[in-house]
Amino acid sequence: MCDGAADRCRLTTASKLEAVAIETELVKEYRFGKQQLMEIWGHACAIGIVKAFPLTSLGKRQPTVLVVCGPEQNGCIGLVCARHLRMFEYAPTIFYPKRSPSPLHQDSMVQCERMDIPFLSYLPTEVQLINGAYNLVVDAIVGPEMDPADLKEPYTGILLTLKQVKIPIASLDLPSGWEVEGDNTDGINPDVLISLMAPKKCAAGFSGKHFLAGRFLPFDIQRKYELNLPECSGTDCLVEL
């Protein structure tokens, strides 16, 4: 863990353009594959969730986790995260209402299905059912790649439901519905945020438990974008800010 407020201030946050530029550079210049990035990020997110919600801390009899996956990249990271949570002895259930036809998503989905991770056919609108069944919700609906104004049903309805749940929410990369650079007081209010590569600008005001999974980033990229990432210890792939 870094030294709290002081380090947090020195930490660079990324604009939407910077977030896109870093990922493009990783893929084009460093030849990282999308599948490889999904694996690195989904794995790191699962580890962040274990750190924030250890098995022994869960209130319910079963270590249930609801993972809500969107149609784009953030959703695919959610699928990979769910698979790793299963390996870490959690009991994830996935809600993935619009299945992307991309092989990346399809393969990740098959991996989850073949590992007997159940998929919900619909999300209960009665939030008591969600509060009662799960220990927490993983929000993998949308990342910085999409403008929240472009969000449509069923995701706008899902976000309304998530704003009412009483169990903790852990958001991957960005709380879904938040604008990367905006004021998001009206959005969902996650307890945990796992930023990928660099915290986005909107995360500067986030007051929950905040992890950063950026260790895999080549040092030249860290320098070029002045990311000023705090050091991870040992072989950890993420650090608590």
Is 56 one of the binding residues for a copy of itself (CB under 8 A)? no
Instruction: Check binding of 58 to a copy of itself (CB under 8 A).
Output: no
Beta bridge partners of 194: 172, 211
Quick note: the x/- pattern for a copy of itself over 95-114, rule CB under 8 A, is -----------xx--xx--x
Of the candidate spans 13-21, 24-32, 60-68, 141-149, the one that interacts with a copy of itself by CB under 8 A turns out to be 24-32
Site stretch for a copy of itself (CB under 8 A), options 13-21, 84-92, 175-183, 200-208? 84-92
Choices 2-10, 30-38, 127-135, 148-156 (CB under 8 A): range interacting with a copy of itself: 30-38
Q: Which of 1, 17, 87, 204 binds a copy of itself (CB under 8 A)?
A: 87
User: 85: buried, middle or exposed (CB in 10 Å: 19+, 13-18, 0-12)?
Assistant: buried
Q: Does 24 bind a copy of itself (CB under 8 A)?
A: no
Residues 115 to 154 in contact with a copy of itself, rule: CB under 8 A: 115-116
Among 132, 147, 218, 223, the residue binding a copy of itself under the rule CB under 8 A is 218
**The only residue of 31, 61, 152, 166 in contact with a copy of itself, by rule CB under 8 A:** 31
State the number of binding residues for a copy of itself (CB under 8 A). Answer: 30
